[in-house]
């Protein structure tokens, strides 16, 4: 009986190891664009100004993440959104979240957007920011404290 269990476990481990070499780690990465949008390509505008008022914008962080997003639209275009709005809403990148109300309603989008803004200010490339988002580096952002930090131009 023990020999049978050992052989079965060895076979199972062998199958798992063999399968791992064909597993593509990028398959589950949400939609994004590998480069900035081509010049002249029209993008839906990021909400701004008076659009950032009303019942959908009850917290200061909601306004702030949209103001930040408006400063880095081409960076957001190159980033995935891990709330999976690409599947549920047809979004093509993190930028899509801020052309409507989704960025104000979803903490994942808001945190990723703020993370992208902060890393852009530090000089990170969209690829470096994307790698950080894929690692989950944005997850520790406390949205409630964003109104205490000024948005820079």
Tell me the pLDDT tens digit for each residue of 55-110: 999 999 999 999 999 999 999 999 988 888 777 787 788 888 899 999 999 999 99
Alpha-carbon torsion, ordered 118, 123, 126, 129, to 10 deg: -50
Its pTM surpasses 0.85: no
Q: Does the pLDDT value for residue 32 go beyond 70?
A: yes
Residue 42: pLDDT band with limits 50, 70, 90: confident
In this model, does residue 24 exceed pLDDT 50?
A: no
């Amino acid at each position: 009986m023990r020999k049978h269990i050992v052989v079965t476990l060895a076979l199972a481990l062998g199958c798992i190891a063999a399968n791992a070499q064909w597993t593509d780690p990028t398959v589950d990465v949400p939609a994004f664009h590998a480069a900035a949008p081509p010049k002249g390509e029209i993008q839906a505008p990021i909400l701004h100004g008076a659009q950032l008022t009303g019942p959908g914008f009850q917290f200061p962080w909601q306004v702030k993440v949209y103001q930040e997003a408006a400063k880095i639209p081409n960076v957001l275009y190159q980033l995935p959104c891990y709330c999976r709005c690409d599947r549920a809403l047809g979004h093509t990148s993190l930028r899509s979240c801020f052309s409507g109300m989704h960025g104000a309603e979803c903490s994942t989008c808001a945190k990723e957007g703020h993370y992208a803004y902060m890393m852009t200010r530090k000089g990170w490339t969209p690829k470096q920011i994307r790698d950080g988002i894929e690692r989950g580096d944005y997850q520790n952002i406390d949205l409630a404290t964003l109104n205490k930090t000024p948005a820079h131009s």
